[in-house]
Structure 1
Amino acid sequence: MPALLATTALLLTAACSSGGGDGGSSGGSGGATSASPSRQAGEQAPPAMGSVKVVRTVATGLNTPWGLAALPGGGGLLVASRDRGTITRVDEKTGGKTELGKVSGVSPSGEGGLLGIALSPDYASDHMVYAYFTSASDNRIVRVLYDPKKPAGEQLGAPDTIFKGIPKGYIHNGGRIAFGPDGMLYAGTGESGDRGLAQDTKSLGGKILRLTPEGEPAPGNPFPDSPVYSYGHRNVQGLAWDPEQRLFASEFGQDTWDELNAIKPGADYGWPNAEGRSSDGRYQNPVAQWHTDDASPSGIAYAEGSVWMAGLKGQRLWRIPLKGTEASADPQAFLTGTYGRLRTVVSAGGDKLWLTTSNTDGRGAPKGGDDRILELEVG
């Protein structure tokens, strides 16, 4: 088993609104990580030590970027602005920006607003963009038609609401959406600050949901006629699959442990009864865990045998090498403090990643050019 990484404990008492990540972390000891070696046979573990090279800055001058989706064939990157409620196309070669339009109905406040976006599995034929956002009454998922032939600012159609009723709050709105290898739509939700919702399988808060592209509970879900896929989550903002179609999710802790979890249908991930590793067999233990000062994780992506996890309060990119659904070595940090808060990381194919910063979200310290998209080469 790899040794724990240990550093001096830093006792912080900063509240959710004073510089933490979107998990509402209120501090904790800094530096330690936890990861277990895999005992699954038949899979080659990646090297214990990896690498990150910043290839270039793709774009600058973005306002509260949150969701990111790559158009097929090098057609550009779609970026959602949390606070403005707009979607912008970024030319991935020149960095030029074109505002497609505003998603109507977005009501930004606190950690809420226009959050995750994802392209339809049939995007080549239907040109639909899915979006998760906070409205005046709830969090919901809509799909909008993107028509690049229309004038800039008018390229988004009216939202078609496919799913609503996800609890909203000033904090913990979740917001990540992604289509899985099975063609179903997965959504990470938060418990909106109401801890009890996470353990209530009839509530949509503090869950990972699995839906059809039309917004119905997906066939084969663990609870009959329910969109709930897993529960006991505090605030899920990262979803990614490995080549074996195994789902991983990042989760904000409160005072002690942030988590990377391997998701099993119908499983309970413990919140609020357990945070991080637990000896209680009712709850799933994380693949790896971090003190909240070191992570506050949002987006994740899979590349080169590892999950790559963006840290907000931690201001670093974490690499978690995997063998099966377990960590094969200690997590490794990159870009620590170099670009500030990191929000979203998306696979760009092979050993390339897109990474967005999040310094204009009210909790960062914006520098000239913030916020930005970076292109990374990882190994």
Structure 2
Amino acid sequence: MSRPAVVKALWGAAALVLVAGCSSGGGGTGTGTAPPPSPPAVSSSATATGSSPAPSGSSPAPSGRVTVAGTLTEGLRSPWGLAALPGGDLLVSSRDERTVTRVDARTGAKTVLGEVPGVVPGGEGGLMGLAVRDGWVYAYLTAASDNRVVRMRYGGGAGERLGAPEPVLTGIPKGVVHNGGRIAFGPDGMLYAGTGETGETGLAQDRDSLGGKILRMTPEGRPAPGNPFPGSVVYSYGHRNVQGLAWDDAGRLWAAEFGQNTWDELNRIEAGRNYGWPEVEGRAGRAGFTDPVAQWPTAEASPSGIAFTRGAVWMAGLRGERLWRVPVAGAGAGAGGEPRAFLSGEYGRLRTVLAGGGGRLWLVTSETDTRGTPEPGDDRILRLEVG
């Protein structure tokens, strides 16, 4: 079935998919809403005609809706990272073409700022996450010998091109798969990076390796003050393949992570914690490991980018081809309600989501990454309004 190129005023009553309960299935649909599961919550999907009530014992969540206000731009090739410039325009990276493109946030006009030298695409590697700070564009990329973070000068003027890349952090293990790739500046001004274990599972538990970790560093790439392991950029470990990073209004860090065959995860990240891989996948309740706040069968998520707005973490799903909303409770708590899914199957694989302020999200599709089924116009950046 063809996906729509542009959908205007698409409300949750038409596209909302609710969490239904425990299931070992891979994203089947039903005709209504099943009773909420007992903890630990496990997600499967059921088609619904409106918003479900808040789970027992939790505060009522916002009604939950997504309006696809339109398509900002289309015709992108293997888009991966997305970052906002101070004036509101967007930068998007092409994993395989190694380019960074500026997108006018009003008109959708595209300007290629340059090809980043030294990028060696292959498998799940290439030019991936982007971040912007103080006249620099930061990028997470796969080079000939490693994954690394670099930065390039960019003043933001019309017609300007990116400067030459300067290394910020090198030596992150690379592989055909599980290269991580997301970077973001936290509210503390430090640069965070999510890495993968490249399929070599032992790296995740090895605190001397940068693979299978969340890293925290200064903008220049040095270990950030207050890191849990002295002299190290490692902030948390025991990760399989971190794909999304975002902070809530209380300043807490959240991360989306690919599971293997059973559970994908949304984790609340705390300094020095061990998130279990490869010893555990999903919730295990084992001493010494931190369980995820939410988990999904891999067919329903394969999570990529995440963003926070309107009291919830919003998580883009690749294999799941849907946008998950996970309500977040106040400081000191975890999730504030059951996850819900939107846009199921409407736009194919979803790679990156970015908060735009005022309840707006930018959502990047990922059909041209060799694993999708591209249609005319793919890939695109969508304008979403959420509540």
Corresponding residue for residue 336 of structure 1:
344
- Gapped runs of 5+ residues in structure 2? 1-17, 28-41, 47-53
Matching residue's letter, 2:342: F
TM superposition shift of 1:9: 2.2
Higher relative contact order (CA 8 A, sep 6+): 1
Corresponding residue for residue 278 of structure 1:
284
Corresponding residue for residue 47 of structure 1:
61
Change (3 A) 1:32 1:374: closer
Q: Secondary structure at the match of 1:95?
A: coil
2:19/2:43 contact within 8 Å kept: no
TM superposition shift of 1:192: 0.6
Q: Pick from 372, 375, 381 the counterpart of residue 364 of structure 1.
A: 372
Corresponding residue for residue 143 of structure 2:
135
1:9 and 1:100 mapped to 2: Cα distance? 44
1:232 and 1:370 mapped to 2: Cα distance? 35
Change (3 A) 1:327 1:4: farther
1:38/1:326 contact within 8 Å kept: no
TM-score normalised by the chain length of structure 2: 0.86
Is 1:107 equivalent to 2:115 in the alignment? no
Corresponding residue for residue 328 of structure 2:
322
1:8/1:30 contact within 8 Å kept: no
1:288 and 1:177 mapped to 2: Cα distance? 22
Corresponding residue for residue 72 of structure 1:
86
1:46/1:321 contact within 8 Å kept: no
TM superposition shift of 1:31: 2.4
Mean Cα displacement is larger for which, 324-333 or 179-188? 324-333
2:20/2:43 contact within 8 Å kept: no
Q: Pick from 217, 220, 225 the counterpart of residue 211 of structure 1.
A: 217
Q: Secondary structure at the match of 2:300?
A: coil
Aligned-pair identity in percent equals 62
2:59 and 2:162 mapped to 1: Cα distance? 43
1:274 and 1:165 mapped to 2: Cα distance? 26
Q: Pick from 290, 300, 312 the counterpart of residue 318 of structure 2.
A: 312
Corresponding residue for residue 249 of structure 1:
255
Could you list the per-position Cα deviations for residues 203-250 of structure 1 after superposition, in whole angstroms to 9, with x for gaps in the alignment?
100000000000000010000100000000000010000111100000
Corresponding residue for residue 20 of structure 1:
none
TM superposition shift of 1:326: 1.6
Corresponding residue for residue 9 of structure 1:
25
- Gapped runs of 5+ residues in structure 1? 12-28
TM-score normalised by the chain length of structure 1: 0.87
TM superposition shift of 1:71: 1.0
1:38 and 1:158 mapped to 2: Cα distance? 55
Change (3 A) 1:369 1:184: same
Corresponding residue for residue 239 of structure 2:
233
Corresponding residue for residue 91 of structure 1:
104
Corresponding residue for residue 129 of structure 2:
116
Number of paired residues?
Answer: 348
Is 1:59 equivalent to 2:67 in the alignment? no
1:224 and 1:38 mapped to 2: Cα distance? 43
Is 1:176 equivalent to 2:182 in the alignment? yes
TM superposition shift of 1:328: 2.0
1:315/1:337 contact within 8 Å kept: yes
1:336 and 1:262 mapped to 2: Cα distance? 25
TM superposition shift of 1:150: 7.2
Change (3 A) 1:62 1:45: farther
Corresponding residue for residue 16 of structure 1:
none
TM superposition shift of 1:297: 0.2
Q: Secondary structure at the match of 2:204?
A: helix
2:19/2:341 contact within 8 Å kept: no
1:251 and 1:276 mapped to 2: Cα distance? 10
Q: Secondary structure at the match of 1:193?
A: coil
The two structures, once aligned, show a CA RMSD in angstroms of 2.3
1:53 and 1:6 mapped to 2: Cα distance? 28
Q: Secondary structure at the match of 1:72?
A: coil
Q: Pick from 167, 172, 175 the counterpart of residue 173 of structure 2.
A: 167
Could you list the per-position Cα deviations for residues 17-49 of structure 1 after superposition, in whole angstroms to 9, with x for gaps in the alignment?
xxxxxxxxxxxx98279xx9899xxxx956164
Q: Secondary structure at the match of 1:293?
A: helix
Q: Secondary structure at the match of 1:266?
A: coil
